[in-house]
Amino acid sequence: MTHPAKSGAQLLLDALKEQGVDTIFGYPGGAIMPVYDVLPSSGLKHILGRHEQGCAMAAIGYARATGKTGTCLATSGPGATNLVTGIADAYLDSVPVVFITGQVPSDLMGTDAFQEVDIFGITLPIVKHSYIARDPADIPGMVEEAYYIASEGRPGPVLIDLPKDVANATTTERHRWRPYPKVKPEMGSSEHIKTCENMIRAAEKPLFYIGGGIAQGDGVAELRALVERTEIPVVSTLKGLGAMPSDHPHFLGMLGMHGLKAANFAVQEADLLIVAGARFDDRATGKLDTFAPHAKIIHMDIDIAEINKLRKVDIWLEGSLKKNLAALNPGKSSAQDWRELCYGRREKFAVDYDAPGDNVYAPKLLHDLTRRAPENAIITCDVGQHQMWVAQHCYFDDPKDHITSGGLGTMGFGVPAGLGAQLGCPERTVITVSGDGSIMMNIQELATLNRYQIPLKIVLLDNGVLGMVRQWQEVFFNENYSEVDLYDNPDFAEVARAFQIDAFTVTKRAEVDAGIDKLLAAKGPILMHVKISPKENVWPLVPPGRSNADMMER
């Protein structure tokens, strides 16, 4: 069949539209210029970030807020290498994003040409799949497969590297692409389901341990229904927050290094862990051989590679979490004494927000902020002490309400992820919580907020130090405060105003309520600069190499 002659660049954009792409985050340059040449007539919405890393994080925020696959575009050489941190972030947090990079012409590849790097080779360990386009006729099928691979099973990033000559070349051909299996994920066998049900019925101290796979497997409703049927307590990883509403009667909170005491104690005493969409990450488990030492393990995960990877399990249910959670029906757990113990501890160890002094107390500010924000507000955040305070003290009703860098722990994530989330969900309130260390790593994206008038609301907690590193130096390195003092920070409110973004500063606790009101009422982008004490720490804290039961407190 004869097709109209089109360039590789035009075929790429046509293929993106066929995959339902509506927003691209990108930054132009020499090798990708053929694509940008046809972009204005494509009908696709392009968001020009101010750094390729910012574009990558915005695509991740867009993907996580919408549940769609994100799309990011960059040029060769430094454009491509500036994406690497974003690609790694998407890989470790299982986020579907297709990254498209320009490349030098095919005949120059391997010659150390200007702005040439082997981005295919560099990213091999941190992508689900990658391509180098060699023929423009391959591009439609390549793009279709890339978006399928990015979103199927356990999601993740896919890379397409596009040499400039392939983007420029025209063709009337469209090669048939190799077939790939479009199968719905299966579920555990009926025999395994029955075995799991019997284990749950027999358990005296059962506990759900849930992670980010719940949301990625579209299993939130099924999890909640199963918890209601069984009345078994629930603990969550950082990425699993929101799968159970924060104030749900059966939810004990986040477990792990900065987990809540009721959650960590429950894990250490449980005799059965029902693990759904979690992977026994070191920040959740503490010293692995002391984690849940008395518990049998039921493990549900779509990625069979996670089964028995870190903790030997007693039985597993592979395939669709949604289907497996729906299939389990062991009835109400008889462990009434266990429930009372867990919920009693939750009340006993509840946070006291009545801190002394007139300084701003960050945990209370964050608690009050999310209680007063619109019901479906999204919180994106950076990495550091503020990230843990968000996890401990903010309210989440859905996993898509909480977007943070989990596996990679990427500073500079919050603002670009927030603008991506806001563009993906324009009808929702999106709030970014950042720190004075983190925000400086991608502060140039304030220009993106201003250009597109993206109404992101930024809460910047400024303690004048690299807070989490300072805390560890205080606790574990004999107060040897090495290279953590940010005494020469700029006036962040003035910086925001220089980007033509509304901003104001809060320095005292008495100013917080009015500050929250002003932040939430803003129609455009706004930054609330909050000065907090550099001596404030995140508690509890499980020291590295210790059991989750060995929590340090204030």
Instruction: List the catalytic residue out of 115, 144, 269, 474.
Output: 115
Instruction: Please confirm, yes or no, whether 114 is among the known catalytic residues.
Output: yes
What pLDDT shows up at residue 491?
97
Local structure of residue 190 (DSSP, 8 states): H
Note the pLDDT of residue 344: 97
Mean pLDDT of 315-334: 95
pLDDT at residue 180 greater than cutoff 90: no
Cα of 23 vs its chain's centroid, Å: 19
pLDDT digits (tens, 9 = 90+) for 292-315: 999 999 999 999 999 999 999 999
Determine the pLDDT at residue 1.
64
56-93, pLDDT tens digit by residue?
A: 999 999 999 999 999 999 999 999 999 999 999 999 99
100-121 residue pLDDT tens: 999 999 999 999 999 999 999 9
- Cβ atoms of residues 537 and 546 within 8 Å: no
Contacts of 483 (CB under 8 A, 6+ apart): 466
Active site residue 422: no
Statement: residue 356 has pLDDT above 90: no
Portion of the chain with pLDDT greater than 90, in percent? 93
Q: What is the pTM (predicted TM-score) of this model?
A: 0.97
Q: What pLDDT score was predicted for residue 545? A: 87
Mean pLDDT of the 321-339 span? 96
- State the catalytic residue, choosing from 10, 52, 152, 422: 52
Label residue 183 by pLDDT band (50, 70, 90).
low
- Is 368 exposed, middle or buried (CB count within 10 Å of its CB: 0-12, 13-18, 19+)? middle
109 part of the active site: no
What strands, in cross-sheet order, belong to the sheet with 430-435? 402-404, 378-381, 430-435, 457-462, 526-531, 502-506
pLDDT-based confidence at residue 7 (cuts at 50, 70, 90):
very high
pLDDT in tens, 508-542: 999 999 999 999 999 999 999 999 999 999 999 99
Does 197 qualify as catalytic in the annotation? no
Q: What is the pLDDT of residues 368-389, one digit of tens each?
A: 999 999 999 999 999 999 999 9
Task: Locate 537 and state its tokens.
Answer: 């720490």
- Which of 142, 468, 528, 551 does the annotation list as catalytic? 468
Mean pLDDT of the chain: 96
265 catalytic per annotation: no
Q: Are the beta carbons of 158 and 150 closer than 8 angstroms?
A: yes
Marked catalytic residue, from 164, 239, 322, 323: 164
Closest CA to 219 of 198, 191, 248, 240: 240
> What digits encode the pLDDT tens for the residues 395-449?
999 999 999 999 999 999 999 999 999 999 999 999 999 999 999 999 999 999 9
Tens of pLDDT, residue by residue over 8-41, are 999 999 999 999 999 999 999 999 999 999 999 9
Q: Domains (ranges, CATH) in the chain?
A: 6-171 (3.40.50.970), 190-348 (3.40.50.1220), 362-531 (3.40.50.970)
Q: Which whole number is the average pLDDT over 246-266? A: 96
Predicted pLDDT of residue 220: 97
Count of alpha carbons within 13 angstroms of residue 390, beta-carbon side: 30
Q: What is the pLDDT of residue 87?
A: 98
Residues in the chain: 554
The answer to whether the beta carbons of residues 32 and 99 sit under 8 Å apart is no
Task: Please say if the pLDDT value at position 177 is more than 90.
Answer: no
Q: Which of 114, 204, 494, 508 is catalytic?
A: 114
pLDDT, residue 4, reads 92
Instruction: Classify strands 6-7 and 170-171 as parallel, antiparallel or unpaired.
Output: antiparallel
